Amino acid sequence: MSNLKFKKEDIIAVLKSVLKEDQIVNINNFNNEVLLDIIPSNPTHKAKSELSKTIIETLKNDYNSNFDYKIDFKSIPKTIQNNDSEVLSSVKNVIAISSAKGGVGKSTVTSNIAVTLKEMGFKVGILDADIYGPSMHIMFDLIGRKPLAVDVDGKSKMKPIESFGIKILSIGFFTKMDQAVIWRGPMATKALNQLIFDADWGDLDFLLIDLPPGTGDIHLSIMQKISVNGAVVVSTPQIVALADARKGVTMYRQENINIPILGIVENMSYYIPDLKTQEKHYIFGKDGAKNMSEDFDIPFLGEVPIIQGLREAGDIGRPGALQDDSEIKKIFSEMTKTLIECLLERNKKLPPTEILKIKTMAGCS
């Protein structure tokens, strides 16, 4: 059975010999690694250790010996997993902004798309899912602010903080500027769950999730618990960044994830040192992300050049796309229109009246 492809239902069938089906919370596969979330019948350390050994031996003997199996024991009942249908029922579209590479400008792109959507008339929220390196509290001038607790149907919820009409939640609201978040994966995932499910997001047309670098626990948790409508991959043009961006694309296309990629954004595309000549200097290479979008047959959403004003705007907490009649505003306006068109193309279930409304608000043709 060494050539057997990953199939979740087949794994469940094999594990029925050692587990009850309701003990299996989730199963995910990344390349040669299979991750299993299991609820143990006996929570003691010895019992969990023995159960883990039994599960792995059973899968290697009766399913596929080539996979690397990893067990994560859960103490919460399965009935409260995947509860996004209730908690996020008032959020119409969830879009993940990501790249497996750090420092390529995901947060800058997220914040500027968010304010552009707001300017178009949409209700927008941002979840800063970068637990270890949050930045939305800086980019929206919210340093030192903390969410208030509100009562929602008898339950205490966090009220996202609003800035420029955008509802925002970030771990940055709960830490000091120079405080490092030193948490293992489960702790980070727990914090993320609280930001998602213990929040009163209210009615939103768009919830943008600013993901951290990589393809790890945070990404898995998001994809397991939230119905993501699509993803945007951000990269800079150089080969080193593109190599990681390709891994991000591959992650979304895994059979057990299968989240549509709405488009690719190329950040830091070029620099114009002399506004008179308008000569473009391709510091990090030319058309790298655009070529990658063609390789993967993914829409190219646009280029963001190196603009000093864009960096300064993020540093002072006022996203650059808010600047009227600016090049930054024009770039993100066109990018956001293309993003919405790609989203509508993917979502065939919307009624024609809703599609027309969204297109009109966005100024799409």
- Distance from chain centroid for Cα 327: 27
For position 86, what pLDDT does the model report? 52
- Is residue 171 within 8 A of residue 193, CB to CB? The reply is no
Mean pLDDT for the stretch of residues 81-95 = 69
Question: Domain-by-domain residue ranges, the chain?
Answer: 8-80, 90-362
Same fold, 8-80 and 90-362: no
- The proportion of the chain whose per-residue pLDDT surpasses 70, expressed as a percent, equals 95
- Distance from chain centroid for Cα 347: 19
Q: What is the dihedral of CA 214, 8, 343, 285, to 10 degrees?
A: 30
pTM of the model: 0.75
- Is residue 241 within 8 A of residue 235, CB to CB? The reply is yes
pLDDT digits 0-9 by tens, 31-59: 788 888 888 877 777 788 889 999 999 99
The fold for domain 8-80 equals: GMP Synthetase; Chain A, domain 3 (3.30.300)
Beta strands 161-163 and 166-170 are antiparallel
Return mean pLDDT, the chain: 86
Residue 203 has pLDDT above 90, yes or no: yes
The fold for domain 90-362 equals: Rossmann fold (3.40.50)
81 band by pLDDT with thresholds 50, 70 and 90: very low
pLDDT digits 0-9 by tens, 205-264: 999 999 988 777 787 778 777 888 999 999 999 998 999 889 888 888 877 778 899 999
Long-range contacts of 161-167 (CB under 8 A, 24+ apart): 163/317, 164/115, 164/118, 164/140, 164/318, 164/319, 164/322, 165/118, 165/124, 166/114, 166/115, 166/118, 166/124, 166/125, 166/126, 166/140, 167/124, 167/125, 167/126, 167/201, 167/202, 167/204
For position 128, what pLDDT does the model report? 94
